[in-house]
């Protein structure tokens, strides 16, 4: 199978430098409009597709991003491996602004978003016990390290609804009682949907601040966040540029089964499936339907 790297760019990342034959294309999805057109190209000999999660110009808030359409569009574009790059706050002193975290767990506290491609008429249950792909995460770790980025391997990401930042009480609870490492607003339900779409998914969280728990840093300062964000953006582009050499032009089946997540997940028997919903699932679940 040919490798096609998909990059979901978060705040501050609205394009990828160095893409050859770069072309923005509109990809229609039966789940609605994606955040923007998708940027197709080749980076260091490997096909790449880029989607700015908030749209160029940052038009979408975390709650209005159409996560289903974004993941469906990536699948329709032939993407095999999704790299999520997003800004986050830190709950750990040693995870400082400017550092990156290779996330491996999530706590989903979002509530205003569609979280599954499936539903009445075609029910499916996938496992997200390990919601990121270890193979893809390891490549991101190696690329970030080679780029000279201070990167932490592993961490739990608290996904909040937003768009407001945490209260002090919430920040302390997430840090002290729940044991979270970073906090953001966009990786859920994105990671769950990527698993339903049988896409390998890795999350690279770029720290911009200490949320509101840190006694020496006070509440979140948006001006400082933007300043750190711009520095992180350059680092992220350098990391992404190293991924093609690590992932190669051809890929085998995922050793962790991400690309076979739907193998036994669909519960609704064939005669009882809703034809309209099944038609919408042609890209996401076409392999098993």
DSSP 151-192: EEE--EEEE---SS---HHHHHIIIIIS---EEESSSTTHHH
pLDDT of 281 over the 70 cut: yes
Alpha-carbon span 14 to 48, nearest angstrom = 14
How far is CA 81 from each of CA 10, 29, 162, 203, 210, rounded to the nearest angstrom? Answer: 17, 19, 27, 11, 30
Give the relative orientation of helices 222-247 and 134-146 as an angle to the nearest 10 degrees: 110
DSSP assignment, residue 13?
-
Alpha-carbon span 279 to 160, nearest angstrom = 32
CATH for 4-114+133-259, options being 3.40.50.1580, 1.10.260.40, 3.40.50.720, 1.10.10.10: 3.40.50.1580
72, 81, 108, 211: the active-site residue = 211
Q: Is 37 a catalytic residue?
A: no
81, 99, 209, 259: the active-site residue = 209
pLDDT of residue 218: 61
pLDDT of residue 223: 72
143 vs 212, higher pLDDT: 143
Query: Taking the domains of the chain in order of start, what are their residue ranges?
Result: 4-114+133-259
Average pLDDT, integer, range 25-50: 97
Q: Is 211 a catalytic residue?
A: yes
Tens digits of per-residue pLDDT, 225-269?
A: 777 877 888 899 999 999 999 999 999 999 999 999 999 999 999
Tens digits of per-residue pLDDT, 140-179?
A: 999 999 999 999 999 999 999 999 999 999 999 999 999 9
């Amino acid at each position: 199978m040919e490798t096609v790297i998909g990059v979901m760019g978060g705040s501050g990342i609205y394009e990828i430098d160095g893409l050859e034959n770069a072309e923005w294309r509109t990809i229609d999805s039966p789940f609605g409009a994606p955040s923007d057109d998708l940027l197709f190209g080749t980076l260091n000999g490997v096909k790449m597709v880029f989607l700015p999660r908030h749209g160029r110009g940052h038009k979408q808030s975390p709650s209005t991003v159409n996560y289903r359409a974004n993941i469906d569009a990536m699948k329709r574009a032939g993407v095999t491996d999704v790299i999520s790059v997003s800004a986050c706050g830190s709950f750990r002193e040693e995870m400082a602004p400017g550092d990156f975290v290779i996330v491996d767990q999530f706590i989903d506290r979002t509530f205003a978003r569609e979280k599954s491609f499936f539903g009445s008429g075609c029910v499916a249950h996938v496992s997200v016990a390990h919601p990121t792909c270890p193979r893809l995460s390891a490549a991101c770790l190696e690329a970030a390290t080679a780029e000279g980025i201070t990167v932490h391997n592993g961490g739990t990401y608290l996904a909040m609804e937003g768009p407001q930042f945490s209260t002090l009480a919430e920040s302390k609870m997430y840090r002290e009682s729940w044991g979270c490492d970073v906090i953001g607003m966009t990786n859920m339900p994105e990671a769950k949907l990527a698993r339903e779409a049988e896409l390998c998914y890795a999350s690279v969280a770029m720290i911009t601040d200490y949320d509101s728990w840190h006694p020496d840093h006070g509440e979140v300062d948006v001006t400082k966040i933007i300043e750190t964000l711009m520095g992180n953006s350059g680092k992220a582009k350098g990391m992404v540029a190293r991924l093609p050499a690590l992932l190669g032009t051809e890929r085998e089946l995922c050793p962790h089964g991400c690309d076979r997540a739907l193998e036994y997940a669909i519960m609704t028997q064939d005669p009882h499936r809703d034809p309209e919903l099944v038609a919408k699932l042609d890209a996401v679940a076409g392999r098993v339907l």
